[in-house]
């Protein structure tokens, strides 16, 4: 999915500084929301709502969809806006649209920084 250098090739640059801190904070928030959603789904199943099992894959897909743009921004820091703060909803929405738009337009299923 991500076009990242492997092996003896040059190591890919990763985000540092304020961008890295904002990505880590956004990832932590997404993880806490996912864990809370799974706890809620588990409580509903324990109460006897068997249809609540459908919440587990729903939360999982939402969690992955939320984290992929963060991973792309982390591995391609030079290709996102310099003032990007992943914790700001407007900035995250911009990143989300750009990342998933790049996936949609990619012919080989890989997103490169230049596609953002």
Tens-of-pLDDT digits for all 116 residues of the chain?
555 555 544 555 776 788 888 999 999 999 999 999 999 988 988 888 878 888 888 999 999 999 999 988 888 888 788 888 888 999 999 999 888 888 887 777 676 665 66
88 within 8 A of 21, measured Cβ to Cβ: no
Residue closest to 74 by CA, chosen among 31, 115, 15: 15
Nearest to 110 by CA among 75, 77, 86: 75
Q: Where are the domains of the chain?
A: 17-104
Enter the pTM of the model: 0.74
| The predicted structure's pLDDT at residue 33 | 94
- List, for residues 20-43, the tens digit of each pLDDT value: 889 999 999 999 999 999 999 889
Say how far apart CA 40 and CA 11 lie, in whole Å.
40
Phi, psi of 57 (to 5 degrees): -70, -30
């Amino acid at each position: 999915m991500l076009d990242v250098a492997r092996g003896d090739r040059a190591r890919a640059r990763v985000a540092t500084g304020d961008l890295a801190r904002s990505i880590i904070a956004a990832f932590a928030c997404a993880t806490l929301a996912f864990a809370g959603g799974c706890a809620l789904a588990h409580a509903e199943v324990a109460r006897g709502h068997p249809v609540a099992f459908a919440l587990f894959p729903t939360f999982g897909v939402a969690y992955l969809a939320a984290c992929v743009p963060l991973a792309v921004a982390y591995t391609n820091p030079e290709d996102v806006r310099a003032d990007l703060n992943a914790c700001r909803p407007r900035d995250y929405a911009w990143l989300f649209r750009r990342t998933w738009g790049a996936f949609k337009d990619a012919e080989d299923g890989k997103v490169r920084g230049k596609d953002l």
